[in-house]
Structure 1
Amino acid sequence: MSREVSVALVQMSCTENKQQNVDKAVERIEQAADRGAQIVCLQELFTGPYPCQEEDHRMFDWAESIPGPTTERLAEVASQRQVVIVASLFERRAPGLYHNTAVVLDADGSTAGIYRKMHIPDDPLYYEKFYFTPGDLGFRVIETRYAKLGVGVCWDQWFPEAARLFALAGAEILLYPTAIGWIDDEKEEYGENQYNAWQTSMRAHAIANGLWVAAPNRVGVEGRVQFWGGSFVVAPTGELMHQASHEQEETVVHRCSLDMLDLVRTHWPFLRDRRIDAYDGLLKRHLSP
């Protein structure tokens, strides 16, 4: 029998009201389930505004424990609708210890696994190092009822090493909850290229590893950032299967054939031809002359 799974990406704007954001996400999940979605991935830090545009201790109030109120609410929905939910949260792990964490809730409402963001950026208006401790769980695959998932978060998506490790661990679909956009005074000059680079990087992950890649991104203007939406699904061939708009709230639903992994990897045997005996240099920060 062929293996197919329907994946949904929820692209939405967020307000200062946490309950409203969670309620909206739940509504979108249920709508996706009505459209046949089996795996629903929410955008990065969906419970509130993106907190890292400045270094502000008050933003830590958005953090919550895992498990906690949001995961409990989503677990109920997962169980009721028999869907897998991937949710990115501002995790309060212990006093003074915070992570940017993706929780994967299986279709029975149980926690299939969590992933803590490994690569933490520090760019203008993306001051994440002030808030988040780098993850300590590595690049483990999370097995769910419908598929084996490799889940990274936003900045992780730029690193081919992470995508490769997820693939080698058995991932069938890579999911990257994202919050990325244009800074107001850069969009006109750099905007098109920035979006293209984001998408191209992940299409390359799909090709190099022969698996599905999907990324939900938020929309709307928050402070000086216009989040560019454009959530998309890429096949193992690198083909862009579906792309959302740049400005509208939208839920992308796409049916993914998991049988394609074997077919593509057989015709493009990049994993077969890897020279694992020659890659020691990847474990070094820099290779001196």
Structure 2
Amino acid sequence: MRVGIAQIRPRLGRMDINLELHREMILRARTEGVDLLVFPELSLTGYNLLDLTYEVAKEPLSPEIQSLVKLADGIDLVFGFVENSPEHILYNSAAYVSEQKIHYLHRKVYLPTYGMFDEARYFGQGNTIRSFPTRFAQAGILVCEDMWHTSSSYLLAQDGALLIIVTSNSPGRGVTSAGLGTQNSWYSVLKTQAHLHGMYLLFANRVGTEDGVTFFGGSAVIDPSGEVEQQAALFEEELLIADLDLDKVRRARFQMPMLRDENLDLTIRELNRIQRKRSGEGTWL
């Protein structure tokens, strides 16, 4: 399975330009024999939209989104956009497209509201984290902050995912002698979760600057043993290509059978107890 990660520089609020950028990357990926091409979070719109959020929101069946869907012929795509739902609630969504159809749609669950982030002001909160079948393997999608909640990757692993696609708009901060702080933090999270669950993680981060915020790129492929298999450059546009050996998942889970030994009944029972206690309906016992 050959994957591509399109580390691009979206133009803020310019869906016309960003659609053309997607088309160019898809054409390049086709010539390289890529089976699955992944774009970053909100790749069709840019990130710091503020009041532009409402103007660029599109329904999945809109002409703009469908023009990209129709390009998924012989190549699967993941891209990010502002979804306008039937209830006119806006979501930070990522679509998995295969055989010219939207095969799965993930709505970002965890919306950051700290530091420079204020997503909950503009977006509704997604309420599902589920795996889904693809032509290659059972997969799951997480959008940026979703990955920082350990329950997200845990749920996907328990739901049968062999591959997690992580789309992101992460800024570059904390330059030290040990490297870029945000990159080090991201890689620590990605490598740990890949290793614990014995699965591939694809990390698609963008580059470019918006309102003084610079996004660091550094997109990567993490293998099931928690090693960085391929890594894109920092702060530069790039098409990162890697060949995944899905048999590595089988070998990793045999060597470290954490998923096999997980006690799901215990986890559910204890979470139910904690929920009852928080709502005042139960005790610690």
| TM-score, structure 1 as length reference | 0.88
Q: Deviations over 1:166-203 (max 9, x none)?
A: 112121210011101036xx657998222211111011
1:161 deviates by: 1.1
State yes or no: 1:113 paired with 2:110.
no
Which of 219, 224, 245 lines up with 2:207 in the alignment? 219
1:71 deviates by: 2.5
CA distance, structure 2, for counterparts of residue 96 and residue 190 of structure 1: 45
Which of 215, 218, 225 lines up with 1:237 in the alignment? 225
State yes or no: 1:208 paired with 2:196.
yes
1:277 deviates by: 4.3
Unaligned 5+ segments in structure 1 are: none
CA distance, structure 2, for counterparts of residue 68 and residue 146 of structure 1: 28
1:78 maps to a residue whose letter is A
1:112 partner SS: strand
Coordinate RMSD, CA, aligned: 2.2
2:95 maps to a residue whose letter is V
| TM-score, structure 2 as length reference | 0.90
Unaligned 5+ segments in structure 2 are: none
1:254 deviates by: 0.5
Which of 40, 47, 59 lines up with 1:50 in the alignment? 47
In the alignment, is the contact (CA less than 8 A) between 1:39 and 1:146 conserved in 2? no
Quote the residue 1:178 is aligned against. 168
Quote the residue 1:85 is aligned against. 77
Which aligned pairs between 1:263-274 and structure 2 lie closer than 5 A?
263-274=251-262
2:72 maps to a residue whose letter is A
2:229 maps to a residue whose letter is M
1:163 partner SS: helix
Quote the residue 2:34 is aligned against. 37
Shift in CA distance, 189/133, structure 1 to aligned 2, threshold 3 Å? farther
State yes or no: 1:197 paired with 2:191.
no
1:84 deviates by: 0.6
1:96 deviates by: 4.3
Which aligned pairs between 1:245-260 and structure 2 lie closer than 5 A?
245-260=233-248
1:151 partner SS: strand
Which of 4, 10, 19 lines up with 1:8 in the alignment? 4
In the alignment, is the contact (CA less than 8 A) between 1:180 and 1:228 conserved in 2? yes
- Identity rate, percent: 25
CA distance, structure 2, for counterparts of residue 145 and residue 273 of structure 1: 28
Quote the residue 1:142 is aligned against. 132
In the alignment, is the contact (CA less than 8 A) between 2:45 and 2:82 conserved in 1? no
Count of matched residue pairs? 276
In the alignment, is the contact (CA less than 8 A) between 2:172 and 2:181 conserved in 1? no
State yes or no: 1:169 paired with 2:165.
no
1:149 deviates by: 1.6
Runs of 4+ in 1 over 2 A off after TM superposition: 56-59, 186-194, 275-289
In the alignment, is the contact (CA less than 8 A) between 1:175 and 1:215 conserved in 2? yes
In the alignment, is the contact (CA less than 8 A) between 2:131 and 2:139 conserved in 1? yes
